[in-house]
Chain A
């Protein structure tokens, strides 16, 4: 059932040319250089320390490795991360 709903949504988004992050609740990750990272549509922080940050997503999670990581701003579905980013990894 869920899968069918998703499929319909995806098809609609494709047909109507709507950004997928809005329709499908997908995360949107913006990386500015190596030191700035914006994540939209996140589902909270799973783990945070200076070298690793794991952000929960609607499906799976995002793992960021780096040095001196810092969450500059945190809102209900938006966050800004600064620090030296080395790896951005999608995990299931």
Chain B
């Protein structure tokens, strides 16, 4: 019936009633509201069940009328108390386990940051820690949204912060702001990015300090931002003497602009051995499986004795550590290697060395500027076992870059 569950919670007791005319007790019990059920006669006894709460009343009824009432069986939750007491350690352990699991899982144990490219991870972690998200922080001590907002406020470089708490892991996902390139607005020079010979100078603003054919070094000023006014050569006045008396106009600074093209050189180097010896995997392999115990290692499978003259060995292990030692199995794989020799003719070697040199050259040059001239030099002598090649390339490229002028009051 539906109240069987409640019977279990409250506990039920099976009793045996002895005596004559037991119907009397049944009637008295039911008229007094003592619920009894499963009434069955067995021999002279009458067996039935009663709730724990009704047992006392039933006992007093049967005593008054001279019946014997024996408790034969106890059922239900209250009677598990003995079991509980006997296995107290087990139940406390279970409780401690559940509690520990709950407590341990209510802290942040890992902080993970992703999505950042320029902003340092340590900076983000530090900011998060300042607002309460750090290793060992209790989850109830911070609010996710508040931390996100505070981090966004503190780190101006970020446009979006998402804090995701997954179990014991705090995942901070950020999106960085893409800031416009800061243009130099103050006065500046145009300097050379690399060595070269000036081919063409076009100064839009500022004063060109080099001219075509000049050799410049990296860092040399090409267009000066400091302008010294000159007398215009076109105003040829007759009152020259008057002008000389005028005070010299003072130098002023501008943000130099312009294009400076220069001839620059790049070099690439490559080499190739004429006689090459290489170890190559032949594809044949052997595998041996062993079982390992702390006392002995047993051989299980494979050809035990066979090996190759040249081989590469790979060991895969599955080991369980235990107090007496390590148990597990491991597999040893031998991969055969063979020697491979190759001879190149001089022509082939030159080709290979050149290709290699070209590769290094391209890496140095970056985006492909126009190559105006190239030359290949063989550096090695014909008797050498190795062929070395150098490629020199001449290109014309823009070597101008802006460099701000530091104007301190003392230095001017």
Contacts and interface: CB of A to CB of B under 8 A. Distances in A.
B36 interface: yes
A36 to B, nearest CB: 13
Interface in A51-92: 70-76
A47 interface: yes
Q: Give the residue among A44, A71, A72, A75 with the most B Cβ atoms within 10 A.
A: A71
Contacts of A73: 1, 37
A76 B26 contact: no
Given A45-B23, A76-B33, 18 more contacts: A44-B23, A44-B26, A44-B31, A45-B26, A45-B27, A47-B23, A48-B46, A70-B38, A70-B40, A71-B38, A71-B39, A71-B40, A71-B48, A72-B37, A74-B37, A74-B39, A76-B30, A76-B31
Range of interface residues on A (Cβ < 8 Å)? 10 to 19
Contacts of A50: 40-41
Contact of A74 (B1, B22, B30, B41): B30
Contacts of A70: 38-40
B67 interface: no
B109 interface: no
Interface string B33-66: 1011111110000101000000000000000000
A75 B40 CA distance: 15
A46 interface: yes
Interface in A26-45: 44-45
B41 A48 contact: yes
B26 to A, nearest CB: 5
A56 to B, nearest CB: 8
A44 B39 contact: no
A44 B22 contact: no
A75 B35 CA distance: 6
A2 B312 CA distance: 114
Interface of A: 44-50, 70-76
Interface of B: 1, 22-23, 26-27, 29-31, 33, 35-41, 46, 48
Q: Give the residue among B33, B35, B41 with the most A Cβ atoms within 10 A.
A: B41
B27 to A, nearest CB: 4
Contacts of B39: 48, 70-72, 74
B23 A46 contact: yes
Contacts, number: 45
Contacts of B37: 71-74
A45 B21 CA distance: 11
A30 to B, nearest CB: 16
B69 to A, nearest CB: 16
B336 to A, nearest CB: 82
B41 to A, nearest CB: 5
Nearest to B47: A70
Contacts of A45: 23, 26-27
Contacts of B35: 74-75
Which 10 pairs from chain A and chain B are nearest by CB?
A71-B39, A44-B27, A70-B40, A73-B37, A45-B23, A45-B26, A74-B30, A49-B41, A50-B41, A48-B23
A11 B107 CA distance: 78
Contacts of B31: 44, 76
16 contacts: A44-B31, A45-B26, A45-B27, A47-B23, A48-B23, A48-B46, A50-B40, A50-B41, A70-B39, A71-B37, A71-B39, A72-B37, A74-B29, A74-B30, A74-B37, A76-B33
Contacts of A44: 23, 26-27, 30-31
A71 B25 CA distance: 14
A74 B26 CA distance: 8
A63 to B, nearest CB: 14
A46 B27 CA distance: 8
A54 B18 CA distance: 20
B23 A74 contact: no
